[in-house]
Structure formats: C-alpha cells, structure tokens
Chain A
Amino acid sequence: MTADVHQTIEDEFSDYRDGLLDDSARKKVEDHLDGCERCRLAYDEFEQTVSALSDLHKMSAPQNFSSEVTDTIRRRSQGRFFGRKAFGDRIPFEWLAIAALILGLVVYLVIRSSDTGTLKYEGAPKNKPTKKLWDDSWQP
C-alpha cells in the first residue's frame, strides 16, 4: 500500500467523523481502517482529540457582566446613549400632527372673529329694498 493511500484516507477523517461522506466513500474509509492499523490508530487519536474539544467546559460570563456592559456604554457616552433615538424616532410626528391641528383651529377662529376677516359670519342676509335701475315715472 502506498503512502498516498494512507494520506487520502487521512484527508477524509473530518468528513468521515462529521458524517458528510456518501455511502461508497464512507465504506472505502471503513474498509481501509479495518485493514490498516496505522490509519486506525491515527483515526482513534483524531476522534479523541475532536471529542475532547466538544467535552471542554462551557465558559460562563462573570456574574456582573451585563451591568458592566451597560455601565461602560453609559460612561463612554456620558449618559447620551440610552434614550437617544434615531433621527426618525426623534421627530414626534404624533405631537406635531396634534399641534398642527390646534394651530389650524386657532388661525381659523382668529380670522373668523376679525372685523375684516373673510370668514366672519354676518348672519342671514336681510331683505333690503331693491334699487331699481330706472325710474318707472319717466315718460319719454
């Protein structure tokens, strides 16, 4: 068996372990491992190493980690970060709409109450005597 064969099998160790080989490739690796002690030992070491990695203790952040993060943000931004809003959020569209409505109403009332205002209500039109365009008494 040439060294190339062993190397080809070793190149497949990761995919073999992760179950990424198709049936024929997997069988080829298994057949080789069954008949080659050197590769079998190499694979056992490989497998133990990768397993040891996943067995490593999962680290937890220190207990006061979250408060330290927010404290750092507050300190660096001198308190401006939290509560600071984006440009779109900073414009209070609802309040602007209400203010515009109130302003419109005020303008309307002012114009209406003004003496010269065109919106002034003058009551129903009274029956005025119509002025004749010509005098009926006139005789040619």
Chain B
Amino acid sequence: MSLRERLLLRKVRQRDEKAFQEIVELYRDRVYNLTFRMMGNAEDAEDVAQEVFISVFKNIYSFRGDAKFSTWLYRVAANHCKNRIKYLARRHDRQKDQFDETIDRDQASGALMGPSSSPRPDARLETLELEQVMRAAIQSLDENQRLLVVLRDIEELSYEEICAITELPQGTVKSRLHRARVELRKKMTKYVKGR
C-alpha cells in the first residue's frame, strides 16, 4: 500500500470527507466494473457499487491494513454482489435459462454472427454483440463461479489475490474457475465457431 493511500485511509478513519472522496475516485471504476459484471446491468451495478463505498466508509475501522486495501475492497464488493444476487433471486425467482432465451431471441432476430449469418463489416457492432452474448453467458453462471471468472479473466487478478479476496484455497479457486470456463466455452461454442 502506498504512503499516500495510508494517509488517505487514516484521514477517512477520522471521517474526512475529502479523503473519502479521493478513495472513491481512485477505486470507483474497478468496483463498478466488478459489480457490473456480477450484476449484469447498470442500474443494479451502480446501486451495489454505492453500497460498497458506503460500507467501506462505515467499516473502515475493521480494515487493519495487514492486506492490500484493494483486496479488502474487492472482498467487500464481492460480498455485496452475492448478497444482492441472492436477494434478487428470492424476489424475482430468476429464470435459470436466461442465457438460452437470450441466444434464441438474438438468433431469431438475426442479431448473432453465426456461421450461417451473413458477415457484417461493422466491427463495432460485432464487438457489441460479443459483449451482449458474453454478458448473458457470465450471468448464467452461479455467483461463486461468476465471481472467479470476473476476478481472474476480466479483472486479471493473480491467483494469490483471488484467494485472499475469496478466502478460498488455491486448489478450490483453480478447479471452480476451470469448471466455469468450460461451462462458458460450451455456451459460447455457437458464437466462437462463427468468428
């Protein structure tokens, strides 16, 4: 942890608003990216990201400083995401086959770039389509697998950091991540083959 970060955190402990805003500015995009990939939509992602920082502010005393601040922050964010996902699942009784429905709908409307689709010159459109398909595929994973995929393959954190965030042994992280990647590969096969 840098000296500047230590100073900022000390000020946050003294309820210094400016220092807290600096911390939010430093980490807002990383936290938002995580919550967006976990929640799958901007509205929930913003809500959860806000709650993460409010929680950080309220519980800053429980951060002892023996780990990296970002590790602690990611842990807080991961827990908030899981809690929100469980809450939403209870409330909305989410459909398990959301991904398949999305794919079927997109294929029916000809939006996907499959092998039989006519190639489109617009690369940006293709990227947007890939983004949509990937988002749906990630959403179809259970929240524990999703978290590992987001931390490792999207946030590109090391296995050591992921173990510290999730408080899981490395073997468990590796095996769960592998299962998640294999599952994603199966869901993405139709799309990947067409690329």
Contact = CB atoms under 8 A, between A and B. Distances in A.
Given A56-B131, A56-B134, A65-B32, A48 B15 contact: no
Interface stretch (B91-99, B103-111, B181-189): B181-189
A83 B14 CA distance: 7
Which range contains the number of B residues in contact with the other chain? 35 or more
Max chain A Cβ within 10 angstroms of own Cβ: one of B13, B28, B177, B195: B28
A49 B54 contact: no
A84 B188 contact: no
Interface string B136-168: 001000000000010001101001000000000
Interface in B33-75: 33, 36-37, 45-46, 49-50, 53-54, 57, 61
Interface stretch (B1-9, B18-26, B82-90, B113-121): B18-26
A59 B192 contact: no
Interface stretch (A7-15, A30-38, A102-110, A119-127): A7-15
Given A56-B131, A56-B154, A61-B31, A50 B20 contact: no
A25 B5 CA distance: 42
Contact of B188 (A18, A49, A59, A73): A49
Given A45-B193, A65-B28, A82-B17, 16 more contacts: A15-B178, A18-B159, A45-B192, A46-B181, A49-B188, A53-B149, A56-B134, A56-B154, A58-B33, A60-B33, A65-B32, A66-B28, A70-B21, A81-B15, A84-B15, A85-B14
13 contacts: A18-B159, A45-B185, A45-B188, A48-B192, A54-B156, A56-B131, A57-B127, A58-B29, A61-B46, A66-B25, A72-B50, A73-B57, A84-B15
